[in-house]
Structure 1
Amino acid sequence: MTQPPSLESLISSSGASFRLLTDSERQASLDAFLKPWHPRHDVWVFGYGSLVWRPEFDFLEQRHARVNGYHRSLCLWSRINRGTPERPGLVFGLDVGGSCRGMAYRIASHQVQETMQELWKREMPSGAYIPKWLNCHTREGAISALVFTMDRSKDAYVRGLSKEQLVDIVQGARGTYGPCSEYILETAQALELAGIRDRKLQTLVAQLRDKPPSTVQGSQP
């Protein structure tokens, strides 16, 4: 039986070809996404991670929403915000399969361009997500929203972590925005306050609180 890769090998290989998008590459991505958008139409944005508790943009309306075909998962290496290239953390992406409940925000048409510019700087610094227009279900009816889904072809994508490895990574990583564990706890709290239940996330939170932090041999604290 094949043994899973060690935590040390996962971390050492996580930054294989990491680089940030140039301004022109990021703009090209945004332009391609907004091509079907009509300038007079408002735009919905679906949040499932930090956008639930820190949207950082103005919106006209907020709704509970569910997207099918994807689930919330700690499947994205964070090498700046919640970790470093030497000791990356993990942040949420939408991986294929299942469904995900989150919050949808309606952006006024006249603010779409400015808001999207800032969102792309925040969510697409390395192009690890594939932004899509997806149908989201809300109590008030279906909407089409911007959803940042995980790009499985990128080195930033990670899967197959054991529960122990997941906890060790989250506890040991810290980036420019603070500890990775803080990000997890903030997201869990925001979802709970919004009445959104995520059993896997709640289980992880319990494990983080029960297990004392450990360090990885040869990595930075």
Structure 2
Amino acid sequence: MQRPTAFKLDRKMAMLTREAINSGAYLEHFESQPNLWTRERIQNSLTETMQARPVDLAETWIFAYGSLMWNPMVEFEKRQTATLHGWHRSFCLRMVTGRGTPDGPGRMLALRQGDQTKGVALKLSDATLDKELQLVWIREMVLGSYRPMWASITLGDGNETRGLTFVADERSEQFEQDSTVATVAPLISTATGQFGSNTEYLLKLRKALFECGLQDSYIEELASEVERLSRRACCDVKDLSE
């Protein structure tokens, strides 16, 4: 049987699509990983999370803090800037596929406890909720690196609610305790994989924040250090060629 090619084609544009997930091509990319989650396990996680949904919640919002900001992929009714309370961004997940390799691992973004995070909230339609959430779960839970939860958010219009988000599962094999700029920047600056470079992800995040009128000091500091390391690497290569 011929393997699906949707992801290979879309990879040239460095953009994950609904077709890549629906065709199975996205999951196939992770087949070599020993901790790959099955579709059944992913579905069970979704079911358990929805069973824990607050009973008084009238709307379903997803809080986006990483690639969901610039490539939500899901269909949604509304989009607002939002603040997530009690969690902060952290490149704390080791990445050996996608934007890294076993020989050159990168770091994947997650959330860890403490402080707050400014991002984007996406309101999903009740009519297509199940279908859209299945796409999100396959995208985020393919390796079980995250823990889905309902967290407190304040929307840009001032309303407070609870939204779905994905925080780091500190029990996962990918979790790394040290996510400081000094440790993470050298990894991000050199890591690359089938999905593109780790630096590209970081700079897309900084751009997405800027376009929303938002800022994250951790992301700014990390991006500045990665750019500095990249400039130094270019100078080193130039010196060797002279």
The TM tier, using the shorter chain, reads: 0.7 to 0.9
Partners of 2:39 and 2:138 within 8 A in 1:
no
Q: Which residue in the other structure is 2:72 paired with?
A: 55
**Contact 2:76 2:122 (8 Å CA) reproduced:** yes
User: TM-score, structure 2 length as denominator?
Assistant: 0.76
Kindly indicate whether the alpha-carbon contact (under 8 Å) linking 1:18 and 1:155 is maintained by their aligned counterparts in 2.
Answer: no
> Residue 179 of structure 1 is aligned with which of 175, 188, 197?
197
Q: Which gives a bigger RCO, structure 1 or 2 (Cα 8 Å, sep 6+)? A: 1
How many Å separate the matches in 2 of 1:82 and 1:95?
Answer: 21
Question: What's 1:167 paired with?
Answer: 185
Partner of 1:71: 88
1:87 and 2:91 matched: no
Tell me the CA shift for residue 18 of structure 1.
4.6
Distance 2:151 2:182 in 1: 33
Cα deviation for residue 41 of structure 1 reads 5.3
Secondary structure at the aligned position of 1:171 is classed as: helix
**Partner amino acid for 2:147?**
I
Q: Where do 1:94-173 residues align within 5 Å?
A: 94-138=111-155, 139-161=157-179, 163-173=181-191
Which secondary structure does the structure 1 equivalent of 2:83 belong to?
Answer: strand
1: CA distance, partners of 2:108 / 2:72: 16
Matched-pair identity in %: 27
Q: Which has the higher helix share?
A: 2
Corresponding residue of 1:9: none
CA distance in 1, matches of 2:116, 2:182: 25
Is the Cα contact below 8 Å between 1:83 and 1:174 reproduced in 2? yes
Query: How far, CA to CA, are the matches of 1:18 and 1:181 in structure 2?
Result: 26
1:28 maps to 2:44:
yes
Residue by residue over 1:13-36, the C-alpha shift from the partner in whole angstroms, topping out at 9 and shown as x without a partner, is xxxx95111111111111111124
Structure 2 distance, partners of 1:128, 1:153, is 8
Task: Name the CA distance, whole Å, in 1 between partners of 2:220 and 2:172.
Answer: 28
Unmatched segments (≥5 aa) in structure 1: 1-16, 215-221
Greater CA deviation, 96-105 or 41-50?
41-50
CA distance in 2, matches of 1:140, 1:69: 17
Kept after mapping to 1: 8 A contact 2:186/2:229 = no
Over the aligned positions, Cα root-mean-square deviation in angstroms equals 1.9
- Structure 2 unaligned blocks of 5 or more: 1-32, 234-242
